[in-house]
Amino acid sequence: MIMNVTFKNLVTLKIVLVFVLFFALGNTSQAQQKAMYTQYMFNGMAINPAYMAVDEMAAITLLTRHQWVGFEGAPNTQTASFHTPYKTSNTFYGVILSRDNIGQVINETGGNLALSQRLRIGDVSWLALGVNAGVSRYQGAFTQINSESNKGNNFDPTFNDERGNRVNVGMGIMFFNKKYYFGISSPHFYYRNVSDPKSNYTPTAYRPHFMMQTGGIFKLDGDLKLRPSILVKYVDGSPIQFDLNTNLFIKDKYIFGTSYRYLDSFSVLASAFITETILFGYSYDIPNFSNKNSPYKGSHELTLQFRLPVKGRDPLACFF
Q: What is the pLDDT of residues 61-80, one digit of tens each?
A: 999 998 887 777 788 999 99
Task: Find out whether 187 and 165 touch, Cβ atoms under 8 Å.
Answer: no
Mean pLDDT of 304-315: 94
Residue 104, sorted as left (phi over 0), alpha (psi -120 to 50) or beta, turns out to be left
H or E element at residue 10: helix 7-25
Name the pLDDT band for 51 (thresholds 50, 70, 90).
very high
What pLDDT is recorded for position 12? 47
Range 7-308: architecture per CATH: Beta Barrel (2.40)
Please give the mean pLDDT across all residues of the chain.
Answer: 82
pTM of the model: 0.81
What pLDDT is recorded for position 288? 67
**Higher pLDDT pick, 33 / 89:** 89
Mean pLDDT of 89-107: 90
State how far the Cα of 70 lies from the Cα of 286, in Å rounded to an integer: 12
State how far the Cα of 317 lies from the Cα of 90, in Å rounded to an integer: 13
Mean pLDDT of 132-153: 71
Q: What is the pLDDT of residues 153-211, one digit of tens each?
A: 555 555 567 778 889 999 999 999 999 999 999 998 888 888 766 555 555 566 788 99
Residue spans of the domains in the chain: they are 7-308
Name the pLDDT band for 34 (thresholds 50, 70, 90).
low
What pLDDT is recorded for position 264? 81
For every residue of 128-160, DSSP letters joined together read EEEEEEEEEEEEE-GGGTTGGGGSGGG--GGG-
State how far the Cα of 127 lies from the Cα of 50, in Å rounded to an integer: 9
pLDDT at 17 over 50: no
State how far the Cα of 96 lies from the Cα of 91, in Å rounded to an integer: 17
Q: One-letter amino acid identity for 119?
A: L
What pLDDT is recorded for position 145? 60
Helix (H, G, I), strand (E, B) or coil at 36: coil
- The CA radius of gyration of the chain, in Å to the nearest whole number, is 21
Residue 17, sorted as left (phi over 0), alpha (psi -120 to 50) or beta, turns out to be alpha
pLDDT at 89 over 70: yes
Q: What is the pLDDT of residues 253-300, one digit of tens each?
A: 999 999 999 888 899 999 999 999 999 999 999 876 555 555 567 899
